[in-house]
Amino acid sequence: MTNDLRIGILGLRHLHPASYLPLFAQVEGTTVVAAADTDDAVRAAFQQEHGIRTCASWQTMLERVELDVAVIFLPHVEMPDAAIACAERGIHVLVEKPMASTVEGAEWLVGAANQANVKLTTPYLWRYHPVAREMKRLFESGLLGQPVGGEGRCAAGRLNRYIDGKAEWMLKRELSGGGPMYNLGVHWIDLYRWILNDEVVEVVGKNVKINQEYDTEDNSFAILSFSKGACIALDISYTVPDAYPHGRDLQLSLRGTQGALSWSPSFEGVQETLFVCSDQSDYASAPRRQLDFELQSAPGYCGILGVHFLRDFVDCIRNDKPVAISGEDGVKALKVVEAIYESAQTGMTIKVEP
């Protein structure tokens, strides 16, 4: 442990902190040394279950515990202050997406990390999925021709999972920024940006509210127009039938002038299938194909994807390399989300600030 990076977890009232512990256990050269939360009961339960030292606030932890890396799971509105305080102490920062409740807050923390010369990343882990990487490779090979459009669907669980997980703040807009597009849609926004190597230039958004107890919407829909002409339709939701496998309905597709890709991620499974269709001559004998992938099983949040992500981040810290997923990537995804919400409120098409 002498040379291990000392990891601190800031915030426990979230669905992911405990599931990051098995990930760090598989990443050589890291040790989780402390966790912090203001909720006495949540903090005591975490310490008893995992045997990790806890503090009554992240401010106290920064004063009393030597850290090399901070992993931040606080309410989105509190993330910038905590990340900036860590950066100013020379602590590298992993901030759970979307990094802040506003673009302005995300830009503040990115600026602080850059000024302090510390590493900053955010866990858009789907980039590490072998199917996503194959989609990107096939697109870049020209298999699809000119990109035209696609659909991304992420209906993941119901509101009660945040209540049961002691993360009810996620359903309060003043703390979270918004509903499923803030919390889930950013994954697909980032993934399409990455696969297409392109930026969203304008959006049309529509939010649908069903629950009456909370001020966030339950469903968010958007059309994203990219600079090179592709239009992606998003369907992001907290309303998936309980009977749906794993409680999640996920879909990603991409279509071009010469081909198409389609994938329904199983989320908790290890076997995945990518459907490929192309008019190109190399596919003449079998224009429609199924490509099968098998993932290594691993405990923890997103399994082996999470392990690869953390290993990359640790390697970048130790060898002073640029991170694969930057704070700027987080800001760009959040800019798209804010534009979607503005469009939903005004009924207008909104341009995304470059």
**Backbone dihedral region for residue 302 (phi beyond 0: left; psi -120 to 50: alpha; all else: beta):** left
The structure tokens listed for 333 are 């995804």
Length of the chain: 354
**pLDDT given for residue 245 in this prediction:** 83
The predicted structure's pLDDT at residue 241: 85
Distance CA 79, CA 19 (A): 19
Task: Specify the fold of 128-298+333-351.
Answer: Dihydrodipicolinate Reductase; domain 2 (3.30.360)
According to CATH, the topology of domain 5-125+304-322 is: Rossmann fold (3.40.50)
Rounded-to-integer distance, Cα 28 and Cα 8, Å: 16
Distance CA 259, CA 77 (A): 42
* CA dihedral angle for residue 132, residue 140, residue 227, residue 334, rounded to 10 degrees: 30
**Residues 279-306 as b or e (16 or more Cβ within 10 Å = b):** eeeebeeeeeeebeeebeebebbbbbbb
Task: Give pLDDT, residue 135.
Answer: 98
How much is the pLDDT for 266? Answer: 86
Q: Residue 268's pLDDT is what?
A: 67
pLDDT tens series, the chain, 354 aa:
569 999 999 999 999 999 999 999 999 999 999 999 999 999 999 999 999 999 999 999 999 999 999 999 999 999 999 999 999 999 999 999 999 999 999 999 999 999 999 999 999 999 999 999 999 999 999 999 999 999 999 998 788 899 999 999 999 999 999 999 999 999 999 999 999 999 999 999 999 999 989 999 999 999 999 999 999 999 999 998 888 888 889 999 999 999 999 999 986 667 999 999 999 999 999 999 999 999 999 999 999 999 999 999 999 999 999 999 999 999 999 999 999 999 999 999 999 988
Q: Model-level pTM?
A: 0.97
Q: Amino acid identity, residue 267?
A: F
The predicted structure's pLDDT at residue 243: 86
For the chain, the domains span 5-125+304-322, 128-298+333-351
